[in-house]
Amino acid sequence: MIVSLTGSFTTIVETSRLTATDDEHDPEGSTIAFERSQTTALLESST
């Protein structure tokens, strides 16, 4: 699970670097910040 979450977090960070969209001001669905926060919380709770 930790390996999977770490991979998810890495993918989220890489995607946010490649994307020029401002999803914080267009919050239709979950945002990159939300995804990062959720993945970080899951990683912290699993260790």
CA distance 39 to 45: 10
3-17 tens-digit pLDDT: 787 888 888 778 777
SS3 string of 6-38?
Answer: HHHHHHHHHHHHHCCCCHHHCCCCCCHHHHHHH
Confidence of residue 30 (pLDDT cuts 50, 70, 90): low
The reported pLDDT for the residue numbered 11 is: 84
Going from N- to C-terminal start, the domains of the chain cover: 2-18+29-46
Q: Is the pLDDT of residue 26 over 80?
A: no
Cβ neighbours, 10 Å, residue 5: 19
The reported pLDDT for the residue numbered 27 is: 60
The reported pLDDT for the residue numbered 23 is: 55
